[in-house]
Amino acid sequence: MYYEESAVPVNAMKEEKLNKGFTIAAGIFLALSVIYLLYALLVVANILADEDLDTLGRVFNILFTLSFFFIGVLIAVLLLLYKRRYNVSFDYTFVEDELRISKVFNGKKRKFLKMLKADQMLKIGSCAKESFERTRAGMGKKQIYYMTPNDEPAEGKEFFYILSSTTMEKILVIIEARREILEYLVRAAGRSKYDPN
């Protein structure tokens, strides 16, 4: 059995523009920081050559001069980190008896997140049903993983939950997919694991 699907942001075009905007802004800050560094090195050379300043004065002036370079680089790094929040999607790949979930940044960089084996699945169902609320309430302080970029499912898709347990932990995973994925999960895990209510 093989099934593959992606959950992309409902407003993917807007998120892609935001991602590009943050990338461009980070590039501008980085370029300005490098240009400023070249200027700052000339200023530092003058500070070192100034005989009227004592050691403490020189150190203070050098640190003050270079601080603008470090602030620019820090802003660029923060923008690059922040852009990872936008244009994020999730890939679900069902192979044989396991569901592999990966996070995809800007359609390029992929990060593997979870592998759910069919024999470890305790309960499968739709998040629109009462069984989801009961299952979520029963989790207490245990981890719930929302593996979707959207607050509401995209057209033609639904939110499904998978309660899974390993020797290490018990987790509840929320995915956004077409109903076909449910058929694969139920077929692999067993009809008794599916809660239709």
Pair 87, 19: CB distance under 8 Å: yes
Pair 113, 26: CB distance under 8 Å: no
Average pLDDT over residues 146-168: 91
Say what the alpha-carbon torsion angle 146, 147, 148, 153 is, to the nearest 10 degrees: -70
The tokens of 169 are what?
């932990």
CA-to-CA dists, residue 59 to 50, 54, 110, 166, angstroms: 12, 9, 44, 56
Say what the alpha-carbon torsion angle 70, 71, 72, 75 is, to the nearest 10 degrees: 120
* Least confident among 33-37, 52-56, 162-166: 52-56
Residue 74: pLDDT band by 50, 70, 90 thresholds? Answer: very high
Whether 37 has a pLDDT exceeding 80, the answer reads: yes
Report the pLDDT value the prediction gives residue 108, as an integer from 0 to 100: 84
Q: Look over the chain and give the mean of its residue pLDDT values, rounded to a whole number.
A: 90
The tokens of 52 are what?
């009227």
The tokens of 124 are what?
């499968």
- Biggest CA–CA distance in the chain, Å, is 85
Nearest to 157 by CA among 126, 131, 121: 126
Average pLDDT over residues 175-197: 90
Residue 79: pLDDT band by 50, 70, 90 thresholds? Answer: very high
Report the pLDDT value the prediction gives residue 197, as an integer from 0 to 100: 80
Report the pLDDT value the prediction gives residue 33, as an integer from 0 to 100: 95
Q: Burial code of 52-85, b = ≥16 C-beta within 10 A, e = fewer?
A: eeeeeeeeebeeebbeebeebbebbeebbeebee
* SS3 state of residue 154: coil
* SS3 state of residue 88: strand
Residue 128: pLDDT band by 50, 70, 90 thresholds? Answer: very high
